[in-house]
Amino acid sequence: MRNAKMAELEGLVGQWRITLSDAWFLEPAGTEVTGSATVEWIGEAFIAMRTTLQGELDMVLGRSDARDAYTALYHDDRGVSRVFEMTFDGGNWVLSRADPDFHQRFVATVEPDRISGRWEASEDAGATWRKDFDLVYDRV
């Protein structure tokens, strides 16, 4: 039986075209990078996001009922692994982490066929934030 709070993530499931833009690290200014994502259920309890965008990255979304909280586990082809706290209310999706190396967050608006978001980072424990890049998911 599917967890009711996990079922609220059903709108993320599907095939997506991804566009990364307005990134401080891409030259020349205005450069866009495209990729794709497949989002699917793993059984009744988890959602897997498999993404190809300048490399491979995976994220698994899950939930702790006792903490009333979503959690996202991230891994990419550089060997980087991270744990993100997550909130989702149907229209707003936030992933965040406050780790010793730096703080990071993804803030997005979710619509039926588009997710528009941005990744941000803070190197001073969240006192100030800089945008890393915009990330848009369009349903295929």
Q: What's the chain's average pLDDT?
A: 96
- pLDDT of 66 higher than 90: yes
44: left (phi over 0), alpha (psi -120 to 50) or beta: alpha
Region 74-92: mean pLDDT is 96
59 pLDDT higher than 90: yes
| Tokens matching residue 90 | 């149907």
Residue-range definition of the domain harbouring residue 125:
4-139
The number of distinct structural domains making up the chain is 1
With a cut of 90, say whether residue 54 has pLDDT above it: no
The reported pLDDT for the residue numbered 51 is 97
Give me the DSSP letters along 62-114. EEETTTTEEEEEEEETTS-EEEEEEEE-SSEEEEEEE-SS-EEEEEEEE-SSE
pLDDT tens, position by position, 20-50: 999 999 999 899 999 999 999 999 999 999 9
Question: Distance between CA atoms of 104 and 120, rounded to whole angstroms?
Answer: 6
Based on its alpha-carbon atoms, the radius of gyration of the chain, rounded to whole angstroms, reads: 15
pLDDT of 7 reads 96
Tokens for 87, please give them: 């909130």
Q: What CATH number should be reported for the domain holding residue 57?
A: 2.40.128.20
In tens, the pLDDT along 105-120 reads 999 999 999 999 999 9
In degrees rounded to 5, what are phi and psi of residue 126? 90, 5
Share of the chain above pLDDT 90, in %: 94
pLDDT of residue 123: 94
The token duo for 48 is: 């897997």
